[in-house]
Amino acid sequence: MSKADGSVPSNVQEFIKSKKILILEPSSSFSNSIQQILLKMGSAHENIFREASFERALIAIKEKPEIIISEYQIGHRFGLELAAMQQEYLDNPGQRIFIMATSNSNDSNVAEAAEEEVDAYILKPFTLGQFQEILQSVLHRKASPSPYSLKIQEGKALQKEGKDEEALKFFKEAKSMTDKPSLAYCYEGTILSKLNRKDEALKSFEEGLKHNPVHYKCLQGKFDILFEKEDREEAYKVIKTINENFPISPATLEKMATLAIFTNHFEDLDRYYESFLKLDRRSERLTKVMTEAMFFSGRYFLKKKNSKRALESLKKASTASKRDPKFLERVVTALLKDQHVNEAEVFLEMFPFEARETPKFLQMEFQVGKAKLPPHELITKGKKLIDEGTATPDICNDVIKLLMSQDKATMAEQAAFKAAQLFPDFREKFYAILKVS
């Protein structure tokens, strides 16, 4: 490990001098401290990329750094996202190092749970000696893997060749070679699932989680099986644990939103919507899922008599849909059906101007106007719809009643005549209004 006199071992200097290094750290002073430590260890100044924001780090990672030192969370993004990107261009674990730096000791549990993504974690603040010791430990593990790690690597190599049954034997053997065999259980479960031995696979993932309750790959494997088995309540519990500890992919977010609806966890959807907004790219499918999720959330809170929360959810749904007129029409129609006229009016105002002369918009505007407009204005709007042949039977019915209530029997008869031409099946109903009134 580190030398007592503080000097840097030659193997560390040799390894680090030619490597590109990305430091993702919001604090400029701490980022500078890390850089100074690396320079003292033998790194070249031009090989170090210091970034304070995740967006800038995404640019720097195009340089394909072999070593990444990242804060656990930067804004709404996670350092682990960079680890996944690093694996894409450096498939060989021996060629890459990912160290997580954090001031929160709880984050270290997550780092351990992502054992193949994170080589080490270090609590801030740290000294040259501490960082040197961490790096030396990582290098030692890379150069001389433990029998357990070697057994895992051998199993993965066989798995990659399609020799699943042989690989399974290696992972079973690996389980007895360490006191924390979560990864071995994970790969065992992955193969068992592939072989359609789902119940056995589920047990493997659960055994792995006994050794590390937040082991990322075991959680993901367990979730996938529960989701496939349509055990929605249990699947939702697992995916919430993933969401609380790790970055969420768009595919996982889609499943989370879907499960929240099926399991009536509508209270959680706001948090998922915020995650949706923070994504750099949103697929059409995910956008549709989030739009529907927030729509159902709105309907749920309406039934709970929580109009404020319902309105917030429906506004988010409308934003996700980019205020698509067809979707807004669904919202207004649903609100009017449940007699939420004031809320419906809010969404009518969201329609683009070019969509405000369509028959459907004018019909909905009339329905909202029933609770807002004086009789003469409502009559004018309703008569126009009847004259243009775009009224509904209900609107015809309302207009005839309004005219009769305003002692305009002749106009009511004319409206009933035109309405009967539009809807012959309702003729008797329209004329009955004239007699009753």
pLDDT in tens, 165-187: 999 999 999 999 999 999 999 99
Q: If you average pLDDT over every residue of the chain, what do you get?
A: 90
Question: Residues 97, 23: one domain?
Answer: yes
Question: Residues 31, 149: one domain?
Answer: no
What's this model's pTM, rounded to 2 decimal places? 0.71
Task: Kindly state whether residue 25 falls inside one of the protein's structural domains.
Answer: yes
pLDDT in tens, 187-219: 999 999 999 999 999 999 999 999 999 898 999
More confident residue, 34 or 281: 34
For residue 431, what are the domain limits?
A: 373-437
Task: Kindly state whether residue 183 falls inside one of the protein's structural domains.
Answer: yes
Question: Residues 175, 70: one domain?
Answer: no
- Among 244, 279, 305, which residue terminates a domain? 244
Mean per-residue pLDDT, 223-230 = 93
Predicted pLDDT of residue 109: 58
Residue pair 149/140 in contact (Cβ under 8 Å)? The answer is no
Banded model confidence at residue 330, pLDDT cuts 50, 70, 90 = very high
Question: Residues 177, 222: one domain?
Answer: yes
Is the model's pLDDT at 58 over the cut of 90? yes
Question: Residues 18, 134: one domain?
Answer: yes
Chain centroid to CA 51: 25
Task: Kindly state whether residue 1 falls inside one of the protein's structural domains.
Answer: no
Is the model's pLDDT at 247 over the cut of 90? no
Mean per-residue pLDDT, 120-147 = 83
Instruction: Give me the helices (H) in 99-249, please.
Output: 107-113, 128-143, 147-160, 164-174, 182-194, 198-211, 216-228, 232-245
Task: Kindly state whether residue 359 falls inside one of the protein's structural domains.
Answer: no
Banded model confidence at residue 108, pLDDT cuts 50, 70, 90 = low
Question: Residues 17, 130: one domain?
Answer: yes
Predicted pLDDT of residue 385: 96
Task: Kindly state whether residue 4 falls inside one of the protein's structural domains.
Answer: no
Task: Kindly state whether residue 59 falls inside one of the protein's structural domains.
Answer: yes
CA angle 127, 247, 20 (to 5 degrees): 45
| Domain CATH number, residue 70 | 3.40.50.2300
Is the model's pLDDT at 305 over the cut of 70? yes
Is the model's pLDDT at 401 over the cut of 90? yes
- Note every long-range contact of 208-213, with CB atoms under 8 Å and residues 24 or more positions apart, other chains counting: 208/181, 208/182, 208/183, 208/184, 209/182, 211/179, 211/180, 211/181, 211/182, 211/185, 212/112, 212/113, 212/180, 212/182, 213/241
Mean per-residue pLDDT, 336-358 = 91
Question: Residues 150, 98: one domain?
Answer: no
More confident residue, 30 or 421: 421
Predicted pLDDT of residue 263: 94
Is the model's pLDDT at 381 over the cut of 80? yes
Is the model's pLDDT at 106 over the cut of 80? no
Is the model's pLDDT at 5 over the cut of 70? no
Question: Residues 67, 162: one domain?
Answer: no
Mean per-residue pLDDT, 322-346 = 92
Percentage with pLDDT > 70 across the chain: 95
Is the model's pLDDT at 237 over the cut of 70? yes
Question: Residues 17, 123: one domain?
Answer: yes
| Domain CATH number, residue 158 | 1.25.40.10
Is the model's pLDDT at 432 over the cut of 70? yes
Is the model's pLDDT at 245 over the cut of 50? yes
Strands 67-71 and 120-123: unpaired
Name the least confident of 79-83, 124-128, 223-227, 288-292: 124-128
Q: How many domains, the chain?
A: 3
What Å distances lie between residue 309 and 38, 261, 263, 336, CA to CA?
Answer: 51, 16, 19, 17
Task: Kindly state whether residue 339 falls inside one of the protein's structural domains.
Answer: no
Question: Residues 16, 140: one domain?
Answer: yes
Mean per-residue pLDDT, 223-238 = 94
- Among 123, 144, 165, which residue terminates a domain? 144
Task: Kindly state whether residue 368 falls inside one of the protein's structural domains.
Answer: no
Question: Residues 97, 192: one domain?
Answer: no
Residue pair 23/50 in contact (Cβ under 8 Å)? The answer is yes
- Among 121, 144, 167, which residue terminates a domain? 144
Predicted pLDDT of residue 339: 87
Question: Residues 169, 196: one domain?
Answer: yes
Q: If residue 51 lies in a helix (H) or strand (E), which one and from where to where? A: strand 48-51
